[in-house]
Amino acid sequence: MPREHYLNATYGIRSWLLTTDHKRIAMLYLVSVTFFFFIGGAFATMIRIHLLTPTGLLVTPETYNKLFTMHGVAMIFFFLIPSIPAVLGNFLLPIMIGAKDLAFPKINLLSWYIYLIGGGFVLYSFSTGGLDTGWTFYTPLSSVYSNSAVTPAVIGVFINGFSSILTGLNFIVTVHTMRAPGMTWFRMPLFVWAQYATSIIFILGTPVIAITLLLAGMERMFHLGFFNPALGGDPILFQHLFWFYSHPAVYIMILPAMGVISEIIPTFARKPIFGYSFIAASSIAIAVIGFFVWAHHMFLTGQSTYSALAFSLLSYLVAIPSAVKVFNWTSTLYKGSISYDTPMLYALGFIGLFLIGGLTGLFLACLGLDIHIHDTYFVVAHFHYIMVGGAVMGYVGGLHFWWPKITGKLYPEFLARVAAVILFIGFNLTFFPQFLLGYLGMPRRYSSYPPEFQVLNVMSTAGASILALGYLLPMIYLTWSMRYGKVAGRNPWPATGLEWQTDSPPPTENFDVTPEVTWEPYDYENRPDLGLAIEGAPTHAHGDD
């Protein structure tokens, strides 16, 4: 391990709380998002236990409604959305493009504090009466009828939005102006392309939910009538404004994870990614088209049939670039030199689960089908496959992949592989039954249900206990490895990115000398410095060439 690196360069709590080093800020985020993951996870645990019996085992309906609402708010706004961008993105983006830091390091720190303040308001809401409007805050339930702590929650989410906006702004400017010499756009790692696309959504979408929540909050506080029909307002207007952000928000959650997968697969197949420019372009395409599909959440609100047709069509179109990525990742495995390291297991698990989640999205985009499965557990299963089976697996896989770089230590490989498999199995057992529940008609957000739905609910809860184990194990051994893990060295895998050219952990300045980039990304063949098979020796055991 290097003697001096970003973790030990300076000491004391002030050096952390007032840092402008993007790597330290990433670590600050790591701690905070993990905290909110626990909170959201605790609510999820209570939900699944409660649903073991048809009449509800654990809590009253009021409390149950608060549980699923707070689970959604904590997980979406305070865990999923920041997770990969603010932890892995912050840490890696500058290093991957050869820069010393982001364009605006102080604004980066400000982003974290804004996140904390927003989180504070939301935690205040949770602990003083809770929130029971659903994370979707539909009016007039949220602005007029709910008796829960809506206002502080809305203020908290509003404030938190600015954290996202500033992070997105920082990333975009950094990619434009801070690339090292030779780092052209098409030499950038796909992870950077993914962050860039995500940041476009951050800056264009988040302001809209900010203003929407501001208006809804004002409606509640001052009895105004934007969204309240009794005062001449329109509840459907709220839904349009809300989903205009919240649909692109789901792409905020998945694009970074896709970026992680695009880094892991070439590394553990030891070959360039198949279709680099198509994967890069599809990230941008998803970000753009994603802004035009929001009303597919509103097919049954009574909107015009023409509008429904348009949104259904566009929703199918947005699926295409995601499919392109899946095909390209799979093709990268062809004639690869595949190792079964933990990050690869997460990446392949991601593809499988994202595949199921994405395909079920086709069911939901289908107008005729949506009539039946809208607002049922089918939807719940669909988005958990993408957000948990996809985004969270991408996050955990990314944490494993870059853990040696971030901490300088290796995690215990065998245990990690076991945990990955447990996670994958637990996840499927938890959420696959929910597709069936939805198809059979069980509505979502129900604290009690007809007895015929019990068997599938029990299966889902049983699976959730395995899923929980799958999450706990990495938390334990990753923490353990920081102290007791084997020293990693610069490039343990090895991988081709710029981040692997510097020490593990990196020095505060990232590089001793500004790198000059002359190689293409994932170019294993022309990288003798990686210490792999050299010219002349048999490189691939699969015959042909």
Partner 1 sequence: MHRTGELFGQYKTLEQQRETASLGMWIFLSTEVLFFGGMFMTYTLNRSTYPDIFSEASKTINLWLGAVNTVVLIASSLTMAMAVWSSQVGKKKLLTVFLVATLVLGCVFLGIKSVEYHEKYVEHHIPGWNYQFEPGADVSTNAHTQLFFSLYFAMTGLHALHMIVGAGLLLWLIRQSIRGRFTPEYNTPVENIGLYWHFVDIVWIFLFPLLYLIDRH
Partner 2 sequence: MVYITLISLFFGVAITAAIVYFFFKYRRTHPEQLGVPIHGDMRLETAWIVVPALLAMTMFAWGAVVYVDYRRAPVDTLDIYVIGKQWMWKAQQPTGLKEINELHVPVGRDVKLILASEDVIHDFSVPAFRVKMDVVPGHYNTMWFRPTKVGRYHFFCSQYCGTNHSLMGGWVTVMEPTDYAAWLSGASEGNENPVLAGEKLFADKACITCHLSDGRGRAPSLNGVYGAKVLLADGSTVTADEGYIRESILEPKAKIVAGYQPLMPSFQGQMTEEQILNLTAYIKSLQSQPVPATGSGIAPATGKK
Residues interacting with partner 1, by CB under 8 A?
20, 94, 99-105, 165, 169-170, 172-173, 176-178, 203-208, 210-212, 214-215, 218, 221-226, 230-234, 237, 241, 244, 514
Of 444 and 490, which has the nearer Cβ to partner 2? 444
Q: Does 532 bind partner 2 (CB under 8 A)?
A: yes
State the amino acid at position 57 in one-letter form: L
Q: Which of residues 281-300 bind partner 2 (CB under 8 A)?
A: 299-300
371 binds partner 2 (CB under 8 A): yes
207 binds, among partner 2, partner 1, none (CB under 5 to 8 A by kind): partner 1
Nearer to partner 1, 172 or 286 (CB): 172
- Which lies closer to partner 1 via its Cβ, residue 170 or residue 332? 170
> Shortest gap between Cβ of 217 and partner 2 (angstroms)?
17
Q: Give the CA diameter of the chain.
A: 79
Ordered DSSP codes for 49-65: HHTTSTT-SSS-HHHHH
- The beta strands (E) that lie in 364-514 are given as 409-410, 486-487
CB of 496 to partner 1, least distance (A): 24
Instruction: Tell which positions 67-106 bind partner 2, by CB under 8 A.
Output: none
Nearer to partner 1, 145 or 340 (CB): 145
Q: Is 181 exposed, middle or buried (0-12, 13-18, 19+ CB in 10 A)?
A: exposed
Cα separation, 291 vs 309, in Å, equals 16
As to burial, measured by CB atoms within 10 angstroms (0-12 exposed, 13-18 middle, 19+ buried), residue 400 is buried
Distance from C-alpha of 488 to C-alpha of 511, rounded to nearest angstrom: 18
Q: Is 20 in the site for partner 2 (CB under 8 A)?
A: no
Q: Which is nearer to partner 2, 27 or 74 (CB)?
A: 74
Kind of pairing between the strands at 409-410 and 486-487: antiparallel
Report the SS3 class of residue 16. Answer: helix
Nearer to partner 2, 57 or 107 (CB): 57
Alpha carbons 22 and 192: distance in angstroms, whole number: 15
| CA distances, 141 to each of 40, 238, 380 (Å) | 23, 11, 21
Residue ranges in 169-188 that form contacts with partner 2 under rule CB under 8 A: none
Binders of partner 2 among residues 113 to 132 (CB under 8 A) are 132
Beta-carbon neighbour count of residue 41 at 10 Å? 18
Stretch that binds partner 2, among 33-41, 88-96, 346-354, 475-483 (CB under 8 A): 346-354
455 sits near partner 2 (criterion: CB under 8 A): no
In the complex, the smallest distance separating the C-beta of residue 541 from partner 2, rounded to whole angstroms, is 5
Q: Among 24, 48, 179, 374, indicate the residue that binds partner 2 (CB under 8 A).
A: 374
Considering beta carbons, is residue 305 or 518 the nearer one to partner 2? Answer: 305
Q: Where are the alpha helices (DSSP H) in 128-234?
A: 150-177, 190-222
